[in-house]
Structure 1
Amino acid sequence: METRGLAITAALRRLAVLGGSLATTALAAVAFQEALGLTQPGPAEWLYTALFAFLTFWLALSFWNVLVGFFAALTRWPQPGLNPDTPDGPLPERVAVLMPVYNEDPNQVFANIAAMYEGLARRPEGQRFDFFVLSDTTDPRVWVAEEAAWFAARRLLKGAGTLHYRRRSQNLGKKAGNIADFCRRWGAHYEAMVVLDADSLMAPDTLIAMARRLEANPRLGLLQVPPTLVNRSSLFARLQQWASLVATPVLAEGMAFWGLGQGNFWGHNAIIRTRAFTESCGLPELPGRKPFGGHVMSHDFVEAALLVRAGWEVRMAPDLGGSWEEPPPTALDHAMRDRRWCQGNLQHAKVLPARGLHWVSRLHLAQGIMAYLASPLWLAFLLLGLGIAAGLSLSGGAAATADAAPRLASALPLVSVIAVLLFAPRVLGLLLLLLSPQRRLVGGSVRALFSTLLEMFSSILLAPVMLVWHVRFVFEVLSGRDGGWSSQHREDGAMLPFGLAFAATRAQFLAGLVAALLLLMMPLGLALWFSPIVLGLLLAPVTLWLGSSPGLGRAARALGLFLIPEESAPPRVLQRARELDAHPLVDLPDGGLQALLRDRRLLLLHRALVAAADDPPAPDLLRRALVKQATGQALERQEEAALLADPVSLSRLLRRPEHSPQG
Structure 2
Amino acid sequence: MLQDIPSQQVRFLPSGRELIFFASTVTTALGAWIFLKLLRADGVQLTDGLVLALFALLLFWVAFSFWIGLGGVAALMLGRGTRGLRPADSSHPLTSRTAILIPVYNEDPNPVFANLAAMYEGLAASPQGRQFDFYVLSDTTEPRIWVAEEAAWYMARRLLKGGGRIHYRKRLSNRGRKAGNIEDFCRRWGAHYDYMVVLDADSLMSPATLLQMVRRMDANPRAGLMQVPPILINRQSLFARIQQFSSAIATPILAHGLAVFGRSEGNFWGHNAIIRVRAFMESCGLPELDGRKPFGGTVMSHDFVEAALLRRAGWQVWMLPDLGGSYEEPPPSIVDHALRDRRWCQGNLQHLKVLPARGLHWVSRMHLLQGIFSYLASPLWLGFLILGLALGMRENLGATQALEFAGLQAAPGEVAGVLLGAIMIMLFTPRLLGLVCAIASGHSAALYGGRLKGAISLLLEMLFSALLAPAMMIFHSRFVLEILLGRDSGWTPQQRNESLGLRLGEAVTAHRLQLLCGLLASSALVVLPQYLAYWFSPIVGGLLLSPFLAWATSRPALGQVAWRLGLFLSPAESQPEPVILRARELAAHPLVSPPNSALQALANDQKLFFLHLAILNATTWEAPQREFLEQALEKHRKGILLSDKEEIALLSDTELLEEIVAIQSRLEGFTARQLKQVA
1:526 to 523, 532, 543: 532
Which amino acid in the other structure matches residue 384 of structure 1?
Answer: L
Q: Which residue number in structure 1 is paired with residue 667 of structure 2? A: 658
What is the root-mean-square deviation of aligned Cα atoms in Å? 2.1
Give, in angstroms, the shift of residue 564 of structure 1.
Answer: 1.0
2:652 is matched with 645
Match in the other structure for 1:614: 620
Q: In the TM superposition, what is the alpha-carbon distance from 1:128 to its structure 2 partner? A: 0.3
The structural deviation recorded for 1:609 is 0.4
Tell me: CA distance 1:417–1:89, structure 2 relative to 1, closer, same or farther (3 Å).
Answer: farther
Cα contact 1:92–1:215 (8 A) shared by 2? no
- Cα distance in 2, alignment partners of residues 27 and 400 from structure 1: 22
3-state DSSP of counterpart to 1:539: helix
Change (3 A) 1:577 1:43: same
- Give the match for residue 581 of structure 1: 587
Give 1:367's aligned residue.
370
Q: 1:164 aligns with which of 157, 163, 167?
A: 167
Secondary structure, counterpart of 1:161 in structure 2: coil
Match of 1:538?
544
Deviations 1:400-435 (A, max 9, x none): 6999x9211122321221011211231121111022
Residues 286 and 294 in structure 1, CA contact (< 8 A), matched pair in contact too = yes
Q: What whole-Å deviation, never above 9, does each CA across 1:106-131 have from its counterpart, x for those lacking one?
A: 00100000000000000001000000
Matches within 5 A, 1:625-636: 625-636=632-643
Residue 471 in structure 1 maps to residue 470 in structure 2: no
Distance 1:462 1:10, change over 3 A: farther
Give the match for residue 452 of structure 1: 458
When structure 1 is superposed on structure 2, of 294-303 and 255-264 the one drifting more is: 255-264
What amino acid does structure 2 have at the position aligned with 1:491? N
Counterpart of 2:667 in structure 1: which amino acid? E
Query: Given the superposition, is the C-alpha separation of residues 605 and 53 from structure 1 closer, same or farther in structure 2, using an over 3 Å criterion?
Result: same
State which of 78, 81, 90 in structure 2 corresponds to 1:87. 90
Deviates more, 1:534-543 or 1:88-97: 88-97
**1:568 counterpart = 2:577:** no
Unaligned 5+ segments in structure 1 are none
Secondary structure of the structure 2 residue equivalent to 1:349: coil
1:408-419 equivalence runs, <5 A: 408-419=413-424
C-alpha distance in 1, partners of 2:439/2:335?
32
Contact 1:616 1:645 in 2 (8 A): no
* Contact 1:192–1:272, Cα closer than 8 Å, also in 2: yes
- The answer (yes or no) to whether the contact 1:10–1:258 under 8 Å persists in 2 is no
Provide the C-alpha distance between the structure 2 equivalents of 1:365 and 1:90, rounded to a whole number of angstroms: 38
* Separation in 1, partners of 2:12, 2:98: 32
Q: CA deviation at 1:181?
A: 0.1
Contact 1:94 1:192 in 2 (8 A): yes
Return the letter of the residue paired with 1:77: R
Q: Distance in 2 between matches of 1:552 and 1:99?
A: 32
| Partner in structure 2 of residue 425 of structure 1 | 430
Q: Distance in 2 between matches of 1:264 and 1:571?
A: 27
Cα distance in structure 2, aligned partners of 1:166 and 1:67: 44
Which one-letter code corresponds to 1:635 in the other structure? L
Instruction: Give the match's secondary structure for 2:352.
Output: helix
Instruction: Flag the 1:634–1:96 CA change in 2: closer, same or farther, 3 A.
Output: same
Partner amino acid, structure 2, of 1:331: I
In structure 1, what is the Cα distance between the partners aligned to 2:511 and 2:586? 37
* Structure 2 residue aligned with 1:200: 203
Among 225, 229, 234, the residue aligned to 2:228? 225
Are the structure 2 counterparts of residues 397 and 223 from structure 1 closer, same or farther at C-alpha, using a change threshold of 3 Å? closer
1:65–1:248 CA distance, 2 compared to 1 (3 A): same
User: What SS does the aligned partner of 2:226 have?
Assistant: strand
The structural deviation recorded for 1:565 is: 1.1
Question: 1:32: how far off?
Answer: 1.6
1:124 paired residue among 94, 104, 127: 127
Identity level (%): 56
How many angstroms apart in 1 are the aligned matches of 2:11 and 2:351?
A: 29
Query: Is 1:376 matched up with 2:382?
Result: no
Cα displacement (A) at 1:11: 6.4
624 and 261 in structure 1: CA distance in 2 versus 1, 3 angstrom threshold: farther
Residue identity in the other structure for 1:588: P
How far apart are residue 280 of structure 1 and its match?
A: 0.4
Measured in 1, the distance between the counterparts of 2:508 and 2:628 equals 40
Report the counterpart of residue 154 of structure 1 in structure 2: 157
Give secondary structure in 2 for the equivalent of 1:38. Answer: helix
Equivalent residue for 2:516, pick from 496, 502, 510: 510
Residue in structure 2 matched with residue 346 of structure 1 by the alignment: 349
- 2:546, 2:289 → 1: CA distance? 37
5+ residue gaps, structure 2, are 1-6, 404-409
* More displaced stretch, 376-385 vs 417-426: 417-426
Relative to structure 1, the CA distance from residue 92 to residue 364 in structure 2 (aligned partners, 3 Å threshold; closer, same or farther) is farther
Q: Residues 623 and 367 of structure 1: is their aligned pair in 2 closer, same or farther, counting only changes over 3 Å?
A: farther
The aligned counterpart of 1:23 is: 26
Report if aligned partners of 2:439, 2:448 keep a CA contact under 8 Å in 1. no
The 8 Å contact of residues 246 and 425 in structure 1, kept in 2 or not, is answered as: no
CA distance in 2, matches of 1:29, 1:90: 57
Code of the aligned partner of 2:82: Q
1:122 alignment partner AA: A
Aligned partner of 2:598 among 588, 592, 596: 592
Tell me if the contact between 1:221 and 1:313 (Cα under 8 Å) persists in the aligned partners.
yes
Contact kept, 8 Å, 1:170 with 1:617, in 2: the verdict is no
Aligned length: 656
Deviation per residue, 1:97-151 (Å, 9 max, x gap):
0000000010010000000000000000100000000000000000010001111
Q: CA deviation at 1:584?
A: 0.5
Instruction: State the distance in 1 between where 2:415 and 2:397 align.
Output: 21
Q: Is the 8 A contact 2:223 2:276 kept in 1?
A: yes
Q: For the Cα contact (< 8 Å) 1:375–1:467, is it kept in 2? A: yes
Match of 1:254 among 248, 253, 257: 257
2:332 is aligned, of 319, 322, 329, to: 329
Deviations for 1:618-657, whole angstroms, at most 9, x for unmatched residues?
Answer: 3264344234335543211111001101111122234331
Alpha-carbon distance in structure 2 between the residues aligned to 1:211 and 1:10: 33
Please state how far the C-alpha of 1:611 moved relative to its aligned partner: 1.0
Amino acid at match of 1:79: T
Instruction: Tell me, yes or no, if the aligned pair for 1:308 and 1:358 is still in contact at 8 Å.
Output: yes
Contact 2:402 2:412 in 1 (8 A): no
- 1:535, 1:560 → 2: CA distance? 28
Deviations 1:80-99 (A, max 9, x none): 43110021135352100000
Amino acid at match of 1:576: R
In structure 2, what is the equivalent of residue 549 of structure 1?
555
SS in 1 for 2:289: coil
Change (3 A) 1:349 1:559: same
Secondary structure in structure 2 of the residue aligned to 1:58: helix
Alignment of 1:1-400 (within 5 A): 12-38=15-41, 40-77=43-80, 79-390=82-393, 392-393=394-395, 396=396, 399=399
Contact preservation (8 Å) 1:34, 1:410: no
The alignment's TM-score, normalised by the length of structure 2, stands at 0.93
CA contact (8 A) 2:41 2:400 kept: no
TM-score (norm 1): 0.96
- C-alpha change, 1:373 and 1:623, in structure 2 (3 Å) is farther
Partner of 2:411: 406
